[in-house]
Structures are given as C-alpha cells and as structure tokens.
Homo-oligomer: A and B are copies of this chain.
Amino acid sequence: MINDNYSKLPGAYLFSDIARKVQSFKASDPGAEVISLGIGDVTQPLAPAVVEALHRAADEMAIAATFRGYGPERGYDFLREAIVRHDFHERGIDIQPDEIFVSDGAKSDTGNFQELLSKDVRIAVTDPVYPVYVDSNVMGGRAGTLGADGRWSNVHYLPCTAENDFVPDLPNEHVDVIYLCYPNNPTGTTLTRDQLQRWVDYALDKNILLFYDAAYEAYIQSEDVPHSIYELQGAKCCAVEFHSYSKTAGFTGIRCGYTVVPKELRLPLNPMWNRRQTTKFNGTSYLSQRAAEAIYSLEGKEQIQATIHYYMENARLMREALTSTGFQVYGGINAPYLWVRTPDRMTSWEFFDHLLKKAHVVSTPGSGFGPSGEGYIRLTAFGDRTQTTEALSRIKSLNL
C-alpha cells in the first residue's frame, strides 16, 4: 500500500544526519563553541529595502481595501515582470513573464519537477551532486537500486573531481535528462560559456532535457561564466532553469524562488508545470513576493551586492588560509562554497568528525553528495566574519 521506493532511500536527508551528529556532540561537550561552516545557510540579515517591503506588505494585509488573498497562479505580475526585466532582458535574454513560475524556493521546484516525467526516463547527474535531484527521483521510482558503490543502478553519474578539473565529460550512454548546477553545489566550481554551450548543443542533438539549477548565479564574478543557461544559443528549446533568492538575498527563511519553463521547449512542460502548480501549490506568501520584488530596486540591488561581497570576502580568506595551510582547495571564486580535499586519505566523514571534535567546526562531508565526493568536504562562506576567521585559525592550529 505504501510507495516502496521510499524504503530504498538510505537513512535521512543529509543535512538532518549532520544536525543530529552536531546535536549529540554538543550534548557530550556542552562547553564547546561550535562554528558551522556546514549547511549552506546564510547568516547576514535581510537587506533594508527587503525589510521595508515586508513591513509595507504587512500593512497592506491589515486593511480590507489592500488585503490580498490567493495570488495569481504563476506569481504576482509585479514580481514576474521585475524578474524578466532584470534577470533576463537586461542580459539580452528574451524570456516572457508567462514562462516564469514563482515558487517557495528551488528545493521544492527541483524536487517536484521530475513528476512531469514518465517513470522510465533515464537521468544523469554530475557527481557529487545536490541530494534533492537524486532522492526525488528515487521516490519517483526512476533510480533503480542502490549499489555498494553508492550509485543507483538507473542513474548515470558524471564524475567531477580534481582529476578532470571538475568539468564533467558528456555522457557516454543514452540519457533523457541531465541535472546541471552552476555555480556548482557542492564543489563551488563553474563552467565557462563555451563549456556550457557544449552541453546545450549535445542536449539539442540527442533530444535531452536539461534541468539547470542557477541558485548561486548571484555569486558569479568572472566575465566568462554565464548567469543563465539561456545566454546560450538553443537553450530555450531544451532547458528548464531553477532560481532561488535564498542565497541571492538571504531568503532561506523567507521562501521565494522561481522556475523558468520556456514555451519553446520541445516538450509541453510549460502547460504541464502550470497544471501541476495550480493543482498542488497555492503560491508563496504575498509578503515574500513583495520582498523579492524589492531586491530588484536600485537600493535593493546595492544592498544585496554588499552582502554577497561580504560572503565572497569570507571565501577569499578561507581559500587563502586553507591553501597556505597545505590544503587542496577548489571553488570559492564564483561561488560561496569551497571544496576541500581531506588530508591523510581520511574519508569525508572521518574528516567531518575530526573537524567537529578537534576544531568544533561543522563541515559537510563530500561523500554525502555522491560517490565522487568521497575524500572531500564542503565549507561554506556564509558565516559571520569573526566566526569564520576563528574557525580558520582553529583549523590551522590542528597542524594537519
């Protein structure tokens, strides 16, 4: 009577596992001052323009004349128009408001979107990978069985390691869907425009659907790294793109994001996603949508850039400190994530435990993101500056 695919999933969601480990460590050593560079959660407050928008929206809800109930299916026009203008038209990309679906975040959308596909599609993921892509397909019955090597039998893995400079090879067998996330979670690495065009060309040639997760695009600093897959020729015929304000503007507690489903796609995913969302979703909070709109104002843009700069300065300090300590460090240039090789051939979880017990620093074990993540940990630049530098000096003094 129950969906047996759930029983195939090993343990809990990665970040729930980590939270439990940290809680139990804190219980055993109540005096320890634990610093988290683990889960990708932000620490800096919302931009003043966003806070003002929240207050204004709350006031609107307080009187009948301006009260808002259910919002429009795809999100409010004011937000979808701001998105189209600032995230696409200003970059020379032609996306229309009816191709934008506002949601409560990219986790929901990347998790739910596979529902539109049949059970027998074969998916490919870069490895390591954000667990939601794989787990949602396990629940959907598409992953097959989990092997002793940590790979699902029906999922095609595209390894990304230091050996290939974190640039995956094109699949060497037939797949229907490829999940790509750039700037990458967890490795913090990117693809250049030329490198990504190869994937779009390949998808068009082989009739593959690309799920492109752009949750970290706001952290891009380099000119040759695309902010949207639609910067590339032909992408509107083969790619769905997921956006989130969680990291762009510290919205992890506010909940707002959006998904772009072009009408030019070869599959009728635009009307299907609309049907899915109107049937099983009722929009994200009006306040959250007004908050998101405020990010696109002149002050809002400046304010969120200042916070992004703050985090990227953390990333720079972390790269510097860890590299000078002898660690092999990747990412952290166009992304808030650093991907660090474990020392002394420790496994990811061994190094996680070591850092937690000896430095009271929480990391994320790379192996939690897939087999090719073994031997790495992920650190995030989302900490507060003082805590981040304190964590770095503790790691340095471990003499690893």
**A interface residues with partner B (beta carbon < 8 Å):** 1-4, 6, 9, 12-13, 15-16, 39, 41-46, 48, 51, 54-55, 58-59, 61-64, 67-71, 73, 104-105, 107-108, 111-112, 115-118, 121, 131-132, 135-136, 139, 176, 209, 246, 250, 252-255, 267-269, 272, 275-276, 278-288, 384
11 residue pairs of the A-B complex, CB under 8 angstroms, read: A13-B279, A41-B70, A42-B69, A45-B63, A70-B253, A104-B282, A115-B139, A139-B276, A254-B287, A255-B283, A284-B285
Minimal beta-carbon separation of A194 from chain B (angstroms): 28
Report if A108-B41 is in contact (Cβ < 8 Å); known contacts: A51-B58, A51-B59. no
Distance, CA A282 to CA B6, complexed state (A): 19
- A287 and B287 within 8 A (CB): yes
Copies of the protein in its oligomer:
2
A6-B275, A116-B6 given; A61·B1 CB < 8 A: no
Q: Do B46 and A67 touch across chains, with their CB atoms under 8 A apart?
A: yes
- Interface SS majority for chain A: loop
Measured in the bound complex, the distance between the Cα atoms of B269 and A340 in whole Å is 38
Smallest CB-CB A-B distances: 7 pairs: A111-B280, A54-B58, A41-B69, A69-B252, A13-B278, A253-B286, A51-B62
Q: Which residues does chain B contribute within 8 Å of A44, judged by CB atoms?
A: 64, 67
Residues of B with C-beta under 8 A to A115: 3, 139
Given the complex of chains A and B, what is the CA–CA distance between A104 and B255 in angstroms? 10
Give CA–CA (A285, B286) in the complex, Å.
11
Question: Which residues from chain B contact A246 at a C-beta distance below 8 Å?
Answer: 282
Name A66's closest neighbour in chain B (CB-CB).
B45
Assess A282 versus B254: contact at CB under 8 Å? Given A61-B51, A62-B45, A272-B6: no
